[in-house]
Amino acid sequence: MTLYWISQFLQTCLFPPGINILLGFIGVIFWQRILGKSLIIIALASLWLLSTPIFSAILIDRLQNQYPVLRLNKLNLCNNTHEAIVILGGGHDKSPVYPNNYVVSEATLSRLQYAAYLYQRMPLPIIVSGGGADYTEAALMIEILKEQFKTPVQLKEDKSINTADEAKFLAPLLKKHKINTIYLVTHAWHMPRSVYAFKNRGIHVIPAPMGYIIQDSYSWLPSLRALNTTALALHEYIGMVWYWIYY
């Protein structure tokens, strides 16, 4: 968990608006020097650019357009005992309104919804993935699939804290149950990094992307939504570089 908190701290410092605030703060300290003034200008200018819908759309589209939408009518939908639907967790948070004091994030919920949709059309075994300290995300995902979407779950992985971990822990589980092909359910912008992680473990992946981010406009006027999209895309790009280096 220490590594997890270190990574969270680094993400805060490296991604907008944290990086912009950090540059601006350093600029204020060295205000009387050219370096200080330059850093403030860079901080403000980059914050504006990163917050524009047109810039965020360019970044996110390069990620989420790498794999097409899964077309069920083009698949061989006969029952295959060596295939499964794998749903990657997208986070969970504390919530006092539920008995277990936890709730899945909107990202996880939308992935579960799409997986249930797929299951109704190709009833393959469903595997959920997601860890946690007190109450695992996988346990929450199972509850929601069974209670809200009336969809059974065959297997779970509940030790992971990131995408690389999910591939690492799912690989032996899939091998144990003789599953050689998975329909991978995750957000379209998260799919490139996910596919790389699983293929690196020798798993044959059929991408089942969902949750596409569609920009309402492509203007140069900054918006909070565009800034969030940019931060999301940068997280994926840096994650991919890290995977290429580390794995």
Q: What is the pLDDT of residues 11-53, one digit of tens each?
A: 777 888 888 898 889 999 988 889 899 999 999 999 999 999 9
Q: What is the pTM of this model?
A: 0.90
Does 42 lie in the same domain as 151? no
CA–CA dist 96, 17 (Å, integer):
29
Residue with the larger pLDDT of the pair 134 and 157: 157
Residue with the larger pLDDT of the pair 209 and 18: 209
Per the structure, the complete domain to which residue 147 belongs is given by 72-210
| Residue 95 banded pLDDT, cuts 50, 70, 90 | confident
Residue 10 pLDDT exceeds 80: no
- Pairing mode, if any, of strands 83-88 and 102-104? unpaired
Residue 75 pLDDT exceeds 80: no
Does 189 lie in the same domain as 80? yes
Mean of pLDDT values over 205-223: 92
Going by the DSSP 8-state scheme, the letter that residue 72 receives in this structure is G
CA–CA dist 145, 110 (Å, integer):
11
Among 212, 187, 233, smallest CA distance to 50 is for 233
Q: By mean pLDDT, which of 33-37, 111-115, 191-195, 229-233 is the weakest?
A: 33-37
**Is 94 within the bounds of a domain?**
yes
Q: In the chain, how many domains are there?
A: 2
Q: Which residues pair with 210 in a beta bridge?
A: 187
Residue with the larger pLDDT of the pair 88 and 5: 88
Residue 138 pLDDT exceeds 90: yes
- Cβ(87)–Cβ(137) under 8 Å? no
Does 169 lie in the same domain as 47? no
Residue 2 pLDDT exceeds 70: no
Residue 77's pLDDT is what? 60
Does 192 lie in the same domain as 76? yes
**Is 218 within the bounds of a domain?**
no
CA–CA dist 138, 89 (Å, integer):
7
